[in-house]
Structure 1
Amino acid sequence: MPATDESALALAAQLRALSDAELSALLGAREVRGASIKDFFDLADALLDPDSIQLALGRLDRSALVTLATLSDSDIPVTAQDAAALVTARGAASAAVAAHLAAAARMALVTRADDRYAVPTAVAQQLKGWPALGLPTLDELQATPASAALVPVSQTEVRVTDAGSAEHAFATSTSIVELISELQHESARELARGGVALPDSKRLAASMGVDIERVPELLDIANRAGLVALDSGRWMPTSASADWLSGSSGQRWARLASAWLERLPADIRVILGHRAHAVWGDQLQEYVDWLFPAGGEHMRERVLIYTRDAQLLGITSDHVPSTPGTALITEGPETAAAAMVALFPPEVTQVYLQHDLSIVSPGPLAPAVDARLRTMADVEGRALASTYRVSTSSIYRAMAVGETVQSIRKFLSGISLTGIPQPLEYLIAEAGNRYGLVRVAAMDGGRASVRSTEESMMRTLLVDHGISSLGLTRVGDRLISRFDQELVFWSLSEARYPVTAENANGDVIVLKRPTAARAAPAETVDTTASLIERLRLGSSSDPDVTGAAWLLRQLDVAIKGKVTITVTVQLNDGSTTDFQLEPASVAGGRLRALDRKADIERTLPLSKIVSVSSAR
């Protein structure tokens, strides 16, 4: 078996030949921390560390492990065809051997040179030590059958499963509507250690009508779908959320389900794809434990996260794939959405306006109607039949986003099955008369000013503890804040004042609610890019820059490990020849090495050495 240093030598050369994209993928897959890595030899050493190797082996399925373990028994590098023959000789399936070797090379679990593959000594030793870790031997990898038979879904369960999945899907979509609506009123703070601050979590849970433990799960689903995003440490709706809120129930669910499918890792997608018609739950988990024998808690957690969200989205119900869920995995979001819409209760577009200022929907309200109604009424209860309530402050809120008395009356008349009751007519008229009593303008320097024609209103603004954070101070006939117009306007609006925004000429303007600028996590330092840059600077492929340093580093590794290497030397006539040497020392610009084949000591000028590689 080759020596460990020889493996490092071969691996370092392989790593050096990778593109930046390939290096980035490798560093991410192997979870390399690059603080102490200065060149490709350091990287090779890090990748050949036993803990790093075990982590990587945990990402391989049983079939790939059989290929790797079989190849580790070979004393010489072999082609993919030869490796397939070795696997076949052991009685295992060999159809995917080439793909397994390519994947293992991308993970730096094998070295490749001239289309021949070899397993580094450290990887082979780790595999041989598996029994001591309670993991299977090569023979056990081949011989042990799947630990749990897959239980097919019976046709008698389909109706119950689909009814349950539709209920989950509708509830989750509705909860995310409430999440976005609440974040439109007030963003939520993300803690530095991760997770939403407790007061905000309680507020969001109450708004969505769910247990507080469910908040991070629903927030994750909404974030994955690009509907909310972190912006300066605050969770806010994105610009895409407006279109989602006005879409149909089927369109809403399709976006959430599509995001779930798109984020599925390739290995889990294959597993679920093969089991789109089978019970998941414990049977699926036992199968995953068998398929990834070294995957351990890592694989269990990954599968749990995606199957948990599948349950919330109605892709499964009680761990059984639903008709829409099966269609999503096997045919795609469009077919799945059509299947889910058929299970949803029919939407309604008209409501009952009541004398007590409440609004009752006799069924699930069409999203476009619901989205607009929310601008002028507060949601009191969300279910298949929802209730809303109109108030003076809710009418102010509608006017703040551009509604008028006339547009509110026209909309409510159009959706009402009972006309507009007199108390509601009076409320709308009264709110319209008072709206704009408080006006916010922008000043030079980015500050805002507030004015009102009623002196009593000005005094109220000054003593209201609910808006004290605005720091309003009296200057003549105005109140001045150190904050900008948008922040002051929306703060007063949320405090239920009849506030409007105005420009420098005193004309009323409509301000848009702030949304997150992008549906992406906050930027972080790209340590992978920094590491790749450091590797390139330390081991440039340009011989005029660091070619000599690379050569000396290779020779140093070979000398310390007493490794036999192939040294290619340029002769005086311009041709080259190879020597199989065991380097002894480098001094005075010359390599002294033992040629065991000729049983002589050779001294070669470093300037004549073209390349160094592992002995073949």
Structure 2
Amino acid sequence: MSGHSLVDWLRAQEEQALVELLRARPDLATPPPPDTTVLATRAGMRASVVRACEDLDSFTRTVLDALVVAGADTDPQPLTRINRLMGKGVPAARTKQAVRALREIAVAWGPDTAISVLPSAVEVTSQFPGNLGRSAPQLDELDLPKVVDELDAGERRLLETLAAGPPIGRTKDASRVVPLERAENPVQSLMARGLLLRRDPETVELPRQLGLLLRGDRPMGQVQVEQPALATTERGSSTVDSTAAGAALELLRHVEGLLKLWSIEPPGVLRSGGLGVRDLRRLAKELDVDEPRATLLAELALAAALVGHSEGTEPEWVPTTHADTWLAAPAEQQWATLASAWLELPRLPALAGRRDEKDKLLSALSDDLRRPVAERERKRVLGVLADLPQGACVSDVGELVAVLAWRAPARGGRLRDELVRWAVDEATAVGVVALGGLSTAGAALLNEGPAEAAKRMLDALPEPIDHVLVQADLTVVAPGRLEPELASDIALVADVESAGGATVYRITEGTVRRALDAGRSAAELHELFKVRSRTPVPQSLSYLIDDIARKHGQLRGGAAGSFLRCDDPALIAEVLANPDITRLELRRIAPTVLVSPLALAEVLDGLRGCGYAPAAEGPDGGVVDLRPSGHRIPGRSRGTRRPFLPTRPSAEQLTSVVRQIRAGDRAADAPRGEAVSTSTIGTAATMALLQEAAAANRSVWIGVVDSHGTASQRIVQPVSVAGGVLEGFDHGHGVVRRFPLHRITSAAVVEEQ
């Protein structure tokens, strides 16, 4: 068996093969293993094997099941036996390819005549690999084909049902085993013959030998060699892109609505974090969308840093300063910001509204929606669509689910299939996918980044139009995407009533008043509709504008930072006429009252500087003290830190690790004399041995512990030993290195052969 050990097999591999192993299983390289023995030990650890097998496709996992069924975890098995287990219709070349894939990740090793698998691979496979039960040693002594032929129809039918899988069945007849002559049903009869195993009082299990026999020429059952077919429909890239552009414009409109709503009435942050159910429903109602869509919009706004939660005792979800920059950006840039945020979103918005294993409600915007698999699974789904010809669309999302389930059945856990559907729904809402196909902008986002995606989206967006259609019922129809300036003007004087290919706005007394409040005059509103409308402006609209304008502004209000009052109108006039006080921006609103937009302290200081002696007045008319009580700075909100994502090691780093492993192997194999250990003899003896080796030009074997606490072995030719440091030529790395003496645990002279 020693010739077939994983350590021996790894030692025999080329350097590049080990580099590829560490690339496929980067956890094996951290920290760098000192030699192949440690590398093999790590490779066999259950947690590492589980990670290594996550990306195996369904067929390769079936081959791994066949190796376990054959017993390759205890005794090497020939490839010919695995081929027989895979059964009729499975090409031998395909099985050999799967075994090669298992060797590349060191889950299997050895030549085709003696393939072994890691013992921990048994835990990676299902409880019943290949849907086969456990072996019953007592059946090996029976002529099973003859025994099965002698069974009656009911007994054989029961065995065939369990042979199809799973191999266990629940029945009350398993409560006790009775002699064959007292058996009253097929279950009791088969148990009496030893052809069914009793697991517990209500469960029986079909032995593996019978399952293999009854399956005939397909011992592992129906094996799906290739991934399921994915039916597609050719819709053309232009159709896909234009549909995606429409979804993108709808997304931008909804996010703008969210920012507008939360700017006026920001919702509160739940005590446990997140957005409350009532606030989510209100958002959905205001935007005229369903709650899952509202959740996605809120999550995108948060991920793009357009909203955040304020500090304080009662924090709220409010737009950030980034929202103003975003609102002023072109549509394609706005979309790219949101689409990029969605692609990298480390959360699953679709979980909002569900309950976790502790029956806790999962809220939108809360940390409960974070899932490490979110971004990775999203990109896996888009990767399948990216492999399709341009303009090809998936006809049935269920087929896409089946393809991804075949490619990596262990990915995603219990949410595996739902993750695919959620990703497609969200990608469609964002405009990355349309009609079941990846848009050109979506492909650019996936492969080239948001800047290139914005250019592709700009090409897909319809040209903005410079006109509207005013109707007699005081509605304004925008037959497409409006120019930014026109869109702003219309949004000021009208509210959106319905959106789609054409947007319908409604003009009311309130919207006209809103435009007048913003500084527009009646003449400017008449001119807007006269110039921009392709239909005649109805008289009812003109009358409405003029009527509201006549009433508007009769009562006026303004903001004032401070006021001055004096019972002597002459003193008020003197102050107002003083040229040195002009900078205080005083304005008379009554014979004895002046107002200023400046703060009261600033106004009083200015007056005192001109020779006056004003006093500060409180709400009750009494004199108040305005002297500052100390410096104050605004509280800074804490930034959100992204979770640390470890970077994958480079090819150069992996090559260095492999060379270090090889050096450790050579050091372990090198013949050496009696070792000096610092733990028993001390550093002085070690130093003396190293100095003698340097003088005699002899190589030494040393044991070293690095700064991470990892022990390794080296063969070094000492050059100098001074100042608590060994400087010598490291034969494993081919360079001169320095080793602190306090990190050298043992040393021995390498014997010449």
Q: TM-score, normalised by structure 1?
A: 0.50
1:424 aligns with 2:545: yes
- Aligned counterpart, 1:294: 410
Alpha-carbon shift at residue 169 of structure 1 (Å): 3.2
1:12-43 alpha-carbon deviations (Å, 9 max, x no partner):
xxxxxxxxxx9xx979x9xxxxxxxxxxxxxx
Q: 8 Å contact 1:153–1:320 — kept in the other structure?
A: no
Q: 8 Å contact 1:569–1:576 — kept in the other structure?
A: no
1:200-240 alpha-carbon deviations (Å, 9 max, x no partner):
22221122111233210222233334433344453322333
Q: 8 Å contact 2:304–2:338 — kept in the other structure?
A: yes
- Aligned counterpart, 1:584: none
Q: Which of 219, 231, 236 is 1:151 aligned to?
A: 231
RMSD: 6.0
Task: Tell me how far apart the structure 2 counterparts of residues 341 and 527 of structure 1 sit (CA, whole Å).
Answer: 34
Task: Tell me how far apart the structure 1 counterparts of residues 100 and 119 of structure 2 sit (CA, whole Å).
Answer: 27
- Aligned counterpart, 1:234: 316
Q: How many aligned residue pairs are there?
A: 416
Task: Tell me how far apart the structure 2 counterparts of residues 343 and 367 of structure 1 sit (CA, whole Å).
Answer: 17
Q: 8 Å contact 2:27–2:48 — kept in the other structure?
A: no
Q: 8 Å contact 1:53–1:123 — kept in the other structure?
A: no
1:274 aligns with 2:387: yes
- Aligned counterpart, 1:312: 429
Task: Tell me how far apart the structure 2 counterparts of residues 93 and 123 of structure 1 sit (CA, whole Å).
Answer: 18
Q: 8 Å contact 1:230–1:236 — kept in the other structure?
A: yes
Alpha-carbon shift at residue 286 of structure 1 (Å): 0.7
Task: Tell me how far apart the structure 2 counterparts of residues 386 and 97 of structure 1 sit (CA, whole Å).
Answer: 60
Tell me the secondary structure at the aligned position of residue 97 of structure 2.
coil
Alpha-carbon shift at residue 197 of structure 1 (Å): 1.7
Alpha-carbon shift at residue 182 of structure 1 (Å): 1.5
Q: Which of 174, 180, 185 is 2:259 aligned to?
A: 180
1:162-241 superposed matches below 5 A:
164-193=243-272, 195-232=274-311, 233-241=315-323
Letter matched to residue 273 of structure 1: A
Q: Which ranges of structure 1 fall in alignment gaps of 5 or more residues?
A: 8-21, 30-44, 76-87, 111-118, 443-452, 455-473, 479-515, 530-566, 580-605, 612-616
Tell me the secondary structure at the aligned position of residue 92 of structure 1.
helix
Q: 8 Å contact 2:310–2:317 — kept in the other structure?
A: yes
Cα 1:154–1:331 change in 2 (3 A) is farther
1:456-475 superposed matches below 5 A:
475=619
Cα 1:152–1:228 change in 2 (3 A) is same
Alpha-carbon shift at residue 168 of structure 1 (Å): 3.1
Task: Tell me how far apart the structure 2 counterparts of residues 316 and 223 of structure 1 sit (CA, whole Å).
Answer: 22
Q: Which of 474, 478, 481 is 1:364 aligned to?
A: 481
Identity %: 22
- Aligned counterpart, 2:339: 257
Cα 1:437–1:123 change in 2 (3 A) is same
1:373-431 alpha-carbon deviations (Å, 9 max, x no partner):
545654444342231436568756985xxx4356x965773464378835424535644
Q: 8 Å contact 1:175–1:209 — kept in the other structure?
A: no
Tell me the secondary structure at the aligned position of residue 300 of structure 1.
helix
Task: Tell me how far apart the structure 2 counterparts of residues 355 and 476 of structure 1 sit (CA, whole Å).
Answer: 56
Task: Tell me how far apart the structure 2 counterparts of residues 412 and 346 of structure 1 sit (CA, whole Å).
Answer: 26
Cα 1:578–1:212 change in 2 (3 A) is closer
Rg comparison, structure with higher value: 2
Q: Which of 503, 506, 527 is 1:413 aligned to?
A: 527
Q: 8 Å contact 2:73–2:118 — kept in the other structure?
A: no
Q: 8 Å contact 2:445–2:452 — kept in the other structure?
A: yes
- Aligned counterpart, 1:542: none
Q: Which moved more, 1:127-136 or 1:175-184?
A: 127-136
Task: Tell me how far apart the structure 2 counterparts of residues 48 and 187 of structure 1 sit (CA, whole Å).
Answer: 54
Task: Tell me how far apart the structure 2 counterparts of residues 340 and 174 of structure 1 sit (CA, whole Å).
Answer: 16
Q: 8 Å contact 2:301–2:307 — kept in the other structure?
A: yes
Q: Which of 124, 128, 135 is 1:127 aligned to?
A: 124
Q: Which moved more, 1:170-179 or 1:224-233?
A: 224-233
Q: 8 Å contact 2:60–2:98 — kept in the other structure?
A: no
Q: 8 Å contact 1:183–1:237 — kept in the other structure?
A: yes
Alpha-carbon shift at residue 187 of structure 1 (Å): 1.6
- Aligned counterpart, 2:401: 285
Q: 8 Å contact 1:325–1:336 — kept in the other structure?
A: yes
Letter matched to residue 519 of structure 2: T
Q: Which ranges of structure 2 fall in alignment gaps of 5 or more residues?
A: 8-22, 31-40, 75-92, 109-115, 133-164, 166-218, 346-374, 564-588, 591-617, 623-635, 647-673, 678-685, 691-698, 704-741, 748-753
Letter matched to residue 387 of structure 2: H
- Aligned counterpart, 1:404: 519
Q: TM-score, normalised by structure 2?
A: 0.43
Letter matched to residue 407 of structure 2: L
Task: Tell me how far apart the structure 1 counterparts of residues 415 and 222 of structure 2 sit (CA, whole Å).
Answer: 23
Q: Which has the higher contact order (CA 8 A, sep 6+)?
A: 1
Tell me the secondary structure at the aligned position of residue 404 of structure 2.
helix
Task: Tell me how far apart the structure 1 counterparts of residues 309 and 471 of structure 2 sit (CA, whole Å).
Answer: 40
Task: Tell me how far apart the structure 1 counterparts of residues 221 and 443 of structure 2 sit (CA, whole Å).
Answer: 31
Cα 1:227–1:125 change in 2 (3 A) is same
Cα 1:199–1:352 change in 2 (3 A) is same
- Aligned counterpart, 1:92: 97
Letter matched to residue 225 of structure 2: P
Task: Tell me how far apart the structure 1 counterparts of residues 551 and 42 of structure 2 sit (CA, whole Å).
Answer: 73
Cα 1:576–1:306 change in 2 (3 A) is same
Letter matched to residue 56 of structure 1: R
Alpha-carbon shift at residue 195 of structure 1 (Å): 4.9
Tell me the secondary structure at the aligned position of residue 482 of structure 2.
coil
Q: 8 Å contact 2:432–2:441 — kept in the other structure?
A: yes
Tell me the secondary structure at the aligned position of residue 481 of structure 2.
coil
Tell me the secondary structure at the aligned position of residue 229 of structure 1.
strand
1:387 aligns with 2:505: yes
1:78-118 alpha-carbon deviations (Å, 9 max, x no partner):
xxxxxxxxxx99722799889x75xx9xxxx99xxxxxxxx
Cα 1:89–1:377 change in 2 (3 A) is closer
1:495-538 alpha-carbon deviations (Å, 9 max, x no partner):
xxxxxxxxxxxxxxxxxxxxx979x7x569x8999xxxxxxxxx
1:436-486 alpha-carbon deviations (Å, 9 max, x no partner):
2576779xxxxxxxxxx99xxxxxxxxxxxxxxxxxxx94489xxxxxxxx
Cα 1:334–1:608 change in 2 (3 A) is closer
Task: Tell me how far apart the structure 1 counterparts of residues 221 and 746 of structure 2 sit (CA, whole Å).
Answer: 44
Tell me the secondary structure at the aligned position of residue 236 of structure 1.
strand
Tell me the secondary structure at the aligned position of residue 148 of structure 1.
coil
Task: Tell me how far apart the structure 2 counterparts of residues 388 and 517 of structure 1 sit (CA, whole Å).
Answer: 40
Q: 8 Å contact 2:281–2:291 — kept in the other structure?
A: yes
Task: Tell me how far apart the structure 1 counterparts of residues 249 and 527 of structure 2 sit (CA, whole Å).
Answer: 28
Task: Tell me how far apart the structure 2 counterparts of residues 437 and 355 of structure 1 sit (CA, whole Å).
Answer: 37
1:61 aligns with 2:182: no
Cα 1:95–1:183 change in 2 (3 A) is farther
Q: Which moved more, 1:190-199 or 1:210-219?
A: 190-199
Task: Tell me how far apart the structure 2 counterparts of residues 262 and 141 of structure 1 sit (CA, whole Å).
Answer: 40
Q: 8 Å contact 2:492–2:515 — kept in the other structure?
A: yes
Tell me the secondary structure at the aligned position of residue 223 of structure 1.
helix
Q: 8 Å contact 1:146–1:291 — kept in the other structure?
A: no
Task: Tell me how far apart the structure 1 counterparts of residues 221 and 329 of structure 2 sit (CA, whole Å).
Answer: 50
